[in-house]
Amino acid sequence: MKNKYNINHVAIIMDGNGRWAQQRGHKRTFGHEHGVEAVHSVVEGAGEMYIPYLTLYAFSTENWNRPKEEIDVLMRLISKAIADELDNLMANNVRVLTTGRIEELPRESREDLERVIETTRNNTGLTLVIALSYSGRSELVDTAKKIAKQAADGLLNPDDISESTIQNNLYHPEIPDVDLMIRTGGDLRVSNFLLWEIAYAELFFSPILWPDFRKEHLREILEQFTSRERRFGKTGEQVRAH
């Protein structure tokens, strides 16, 4: 743990772009464009606060059901925004990863993302994980397939399957569990994000619409996080004893 908050991994459901734009009489995509400024600020803030891992929910598997025009704008915007940030990410020592069914993205988006992943791979500061065409259930389906193949190939006895077997076959087994999950935009739900990884996460919901969210808001939530007692099934007395 490298920070005073005792946090390894923060995950954010960046919600509220559409409503932000509509409140201003614009199309929903205007909100996505302005969401990029919030991403910039939060990534910078997470680095400054020595958070090791930050996962941002950028596009869910369910988001493929949105109007084609909105999907097209989002795809272009996400990969372009990340590519435009490359110098900044290098200057801030940020390593970029993606999680999700990346093969489902348009080729140009995949290529932009690949370039950023490759260029930032040896950076040692914040690891920024972008969840794209991601859902918790589809990750668990893909995990189950990998495990079933190992069993079918005789490499694994089904009786030996444990929680670590599942952990070790996730998209990124090396990434620690989420300590803190934040959702902006005022809705109180998880929307199929990181279902396995949030088992013991502390949940925070902010009414702020994503384009207005800044690193100061993140800092405030991190401060509040430190006053939560994480008991992991034990009693408060047990937890406070050491």
Residues classed as catalytic: 15, 63
Segment contacting Mg ion by CB under 5 A, of 7-15, 118-126, 132-140, 226-234: 7-15
Instruction: Enumerate the β-bridge partners of residue 218.
Output: none
52 DSSP 8-state letter: S
**Number of neighbouring beta carbons within 10 Å of residue 141:** 11
In terms of CB distance, is 119 or 191 closer to ligand IPE?
191
3-state secondary structure of 155: coil
| 39, amino acid identity | V
User: Tokens representing 132?
Assistant: 């794209």
CB of 57 to ligand IPE, least distance (A): 4
- Distance from C-alpha of 43 to C-alpha of 56, rounded to nearest angstrom: 10
Q: From the list ligand IPE, Mg ion, none, pick the one residue 189 interacts with, judged by a Cβ distance below 5 to 8 Å according to partner type.
A: ligand IPE
In terms of CB distance, is 111 or 187 closer to ligand IPE?
187
CB of 186 to Mg ion, least distance (A): 10
In terms of CB distance, is 63 or 167 closer to ligand IPE?
63
Among positions 10, 13, 15, 210, the unique one binding Mg ion when judged by CB under 5 A: 15
Per CB under 5 A, 74 contacts Mg ion: no
53 DSSP 8-state letter: E
- Distance from C-alpha of 144 to C-alpha of 113, rounded to nearest angstrom: 26
Q: In what order do the strands lie in the sheet with 127-134?
A: 95-99, 127-134, 53-60, 9-13, 180-183, 202-205
In terms of CB distance, is 91 or 188 closer to ligand IPE?
188
Segment contacting Mg ion by CB under 5 A, of 12-20, 30-38, 86-94, 171-179: 12-20
Enumerate binding residues for ligand IPE (CB under 6 A): 13-19, 28, 57-60, 62-63, 74, 185, 187, 189, 191, 210
Segment contacting Mg ion by CB under 5 A, of 9-17, 143-151, 200-208, 228-236: 9-17
Task: Give how far Cα 1 sits from Cα of 5, 26, 51, 53, 171, Å.
Answer: 9, 43, 9, 11, 22
CB of 210 to ligand IPE, least distance (A): 6
**Binding footprint of Mg ion on the chain (CB under 5 A):** 15
